[in-house]
Every structure is written in structure tokens, then in C-alpha cells.
A and B are shown apart, each in its own frame.
Chain A
Amino acid sequence: MANKSERRDLFPGALEMMILQSLRLAPMHGYALVKHIQQVSDDLLQIEEGSLYPALQRMLRERWLEAETGISAKGRPTRIYRLTSAGLRHLEQELSSFEQMTTGISRVLAFART
């Protein structure tokens, strides 16, 4: 937040993709998701809460996720998000189109450099 201006905006759908991918490993609650993404990206990516929770609700509405009552790592009641089969399908689609896109982009960038 403080270093917001230094950071590049994520492209549309990137947040969703990362959330889905993270939840594919294991169901987790909101705070855990933030932590997980932060750690896995070696602090390169920091999820804003202001984006996370609306995104989670949108994904619940699309039925990519399910929320269930659970207990956080610290023993407090919270909601655990779990990937649904629809979410998994969506993730696979997104990943393949993302891969195509990065391949395309890197080819263009590689060509420009030569």
C-alpha cells in the first residue's frame, strides 16, 4: 500500500488465478491465502485485502469456490475456502490461456531484442 506506486498492477484475472491455484493445494482461509501468496512469491506479491475479499465473493458467486465453517491456525472461527470442480476447470482454462499469452509475449520480446 505504501509502496503501491512502485508496484505494477496485476492484469485482470491474475488475482483469481493465483487464488485458485493456491486453493488447489489445500483449502485455506483469507489470511492464510494472503500469507501463502506472499511467501511463495518471496514477498514480490502482496495481496491487498481490499481486492481479496471482493474477489473471493465474486468467485463464490461463480461457484468456483465454496466456503465452509472452519477454525483458523490460531484456533479462531473463520471461513475456509475450497476449490470446486467448476473452479478447477476454470483454473485449467485460465492457466493454458495464460501460458499461451506469456509464450506469445516472450516471443515478441525476444524478437524485439534481436
Chain B
Amino acid sequence: MKDLALHILDILQNSVTAGATLVKLQIEEIPSKDEYLVKLIDNGKGMDAEMVQQVTDPFFTTRTTRKVGLGLPLLKQNAERTGGSMTIQSEPGKGTEVDVKFIFSHIDRLPTGDISGTLALTVSSYPAIDFIYTHNTPDGTFIFDTFEIKETLGDLPINNPQVIAFMKDLISDNLKEIKAS
């Protein structure tokens, strides 16, 4: 993966496949502690302890179309390359939380990439799922909540091309405002 946004696009699919109805993505930039934290929390079907152990194994996947599953292993590798880490907590029936820590100043920390595009595409592909995205920087906080968007839209579908374009602009504009890296 070339950037963090692509990783997020990839990992969000896990939550979708797990049948989540609410997915939270939190990004926290803490330059003072030299940390860049990414958190994904869903209310999907969760995993038992054994499966949590296995998911970072590249040869583990729940798919039947192929024998490898590289989403989480690649993300873990990229986090560890910066001296950071990835931890997964999950409980069957409750949901899953993936915590990724990158070292902020490390040269190998992936560029953030097109977060706004990633969110807009995912949100529009799964109209039945709600997403809450929070981005924290020392300059402020931005919250993107699909509850609000859907409420404003009424019966206009969230996958209308112009709504997708709007969501992209909304996110990228506000991220610029809080000086997201």
C-alpha cells in the first residue's frame, strides 16, 4: 500500500464483512509525543482469542476465493517499520478494535494519502452502515458523522455522485483547516 488512506480503505472492509452497523475511525496526531494513532472500532461479530492471534498471519483469511490475507499483516508491517505497533482487541458478538501506532517523525511513516476519498467511497458503497470519523491534531478536531449527513439528505441517497463529491470536499476542506498532515 502506498499510503495510509489505502490501508484504511482495506481494513474498513473487514468491519463491513463482519456485519458491523457502526464503524468508528479515529486518527490522532500527537507530535508532542511523537505519535500518530489510528483506531478502528466496529460493532461487528467480533473474533475469538484464537482468531485474533491468527489474523496477522498472512496465510490466514476467511475468504474462500484465495488462500492469503494480507490486509492486517501489511498494516502491521508498516506500523512496525516506523517503530510503532498494532494491537487488536475483539470479543465475539461485541465487535473489534484495531489500534495502530506510528511514530510521527519516522521517515518510513506512510504519507496520509486521500483520506477524504477513502471515506466518501466507503460511506457511499454501504449506505446501511454508519461511519463516524474523528481526526485530532494540535490545531483542532474534525468529526465526520454519517448520521448527520443522512439526516440532512432525507430521502436523497447517500450514493448520489454529487453527494459523494460533496463529502470528499467537506472532509478534505476541514482536514486542511485543522492542519492534518
Question: Are A and B interaction partners?
Answer: no
